[in-house]
Amino acid sequence: MKFVDEAFIDVAAGDGGAGCVSFRHEKYKEFGGPNGGDGGRGGHVFAVADPSLNTLVDYRFSRRHEARRGQHGMGSDMFGAAGDDITLRMPVGTIISDADTGAVLTELLQPGDVVTLAKGGDGGFGNMRFKSAINRAPRQKTPGWPGERKSLKLELKVLADVGLLGLPNAGKSTLISAISNARPRIADYPFTTLHPHLGVVRVGPEQSFVVADLPGLIEGASEGAGLGHLFLRHLQRTRLLLHVVDLAPFDDSVDAVAQARALVAELRKYDQALYDKPRWLVLNKLDMVDQADRPARVRDFVRRLRFKGPVFEISALTREGCEPLIQSVYQHLKAQSEAARPVDQPDPRFTAQPDAGSSP
């Protein structure tokens, strides 16, 4: 399935049904009085966050979504039936904004979240509503109110705790497949990853976090070069960035430090808030570096990059060093959650659950 993270749609709620003008016609009742009922409400348009979806591709080719109008009122005091509502299923993490003004209307952040995109119009009044002591035979009625119509922009930002950042072929896909349940495409050529992949990293029976693997970034990505610029938005909701660097490039003439600096500069150009996120350095492909040369190469790289944060040395292929990285990430996210939440509301993902047989 093609990954689509942006789409434009038009939604139209149903119009309300018109009221009815009617009078009773019964034997022996010469003046039966008005009995025209109200029109029915038009159908609403809802959106629901569906965790089984991970793309907006359904809305790339299906733009118009219209609810049914309400039924008109009828005689014999019968009100019109309400129009059928429609519910649009969207991925968790979808941002819904006005296509004309750009104003954000709502976000679907939790599975099962339901929001109203367009309200159906109310039904009109039948003539029974206008009966009074001085108006025994009203012939007034009102039409139904029109339903809301909107042009909307849908934008998907994946919900992940950790984002993998790096150049093409830095080993991000291998890393996410080594530490999580994700199985992205892996090959020895650039831009193997063409769209984001999410993986759940299990630390314990009830302890986990979500990591996102994005297409590799190159210099100029913030201006549209390469593929990664299309997906930088997905890093904005992460709480930690792992900058994955190939410590053993095939071409010795390539300056890995200069490339790492250029990539960080692209983050800053794209979004200062993204640049300010916690960022750790992950030096990958240790298996391709002679064991005796590893300490010197790591020290030289960190010194030249002038990196001040945590540094991890791993081999995603052999999984060397992956477990300490996972545990450190988990503890960092746990500390963030505990600092952000009230004491009486711990995050269940970072709280170990007691065994069924253990005493409280």
Sequence spans of domains, the chain:
1-156, 162-350
pTM metric for this prediction: 0.65
pLDDT of residue 317: 87
Helix (H, G, I), strand (E, B) or coil at 334: helix
User: What is the rounded average pLDDT for all residues in the chain?
Assistant: 81
What is the rounded CA–CA span in Å between residue 342 and residue 352? 18
Fold identical between 1-156 and 162-350? no
pLDDT of residue 295: 87
Parallel, antiparallel or unpaired: strands 45-50 and 114-118: antiparallel
H or E element at residue 258: helix 256-270
Q: Which CATH superfamily is domain 162-350 in?
A: P-loop containing nucleotide triphosphate hydrolases (3.40.50.300)
Exposed, middle or buried, 161 (CB in 10 Å: 0-12/13-18/19+)?
buried
Judged by average pLDDT, the poorest of 39-43, 146-150, 204-208, 283-287 is 204-208
Roughly what angle, to the nearest 10 degrees, separates helices 256-270 and 294-305?
40
DSSP state of 222: G
pLDDT over 60 (residue 3): no
pLDDT of residue 349: 55
**pLDDT band at residue 122 using 50, 70 and 90 as cut-offs:** very high
- Out of 54-68, 113-127, 264-278, the most confident range is 113-127
188 compared with 103, residue with greater pLDDT: 103
pLDDT of residue 231: 62
pLDDT over 70 (residue 227): no
Question: Which candidate, 112, 28, 327, 80, places its Cα nearest to that of 204?
Answer: 327
Q: Tell me: the pLDDT tens digits for 142-191?
A: 999 999 999 999 988 777 788 888 887 778 888 888 888 756 544 444 44
- Domain at 1-156: CATH architecture: Distorted Sandwich (2.70)
What is the rounded CA–CA span in Å between residue 339 and residue 281? 24
Q: Tell me: the pLDDT tens digits for 312-346?
A: 999 888 889 899 999 999 999 888 878 766 655 66
Q: In sequence order, what are the residues at sequence separation of 6 or more whose Cβ sits closer than 8 angstroms to the Cβ of residue 114?
A: 46, 47, 48, 49, 87
250 compared with 142, residue with greater pLDDT: 142
pLDDT over 50 (residue 228): no
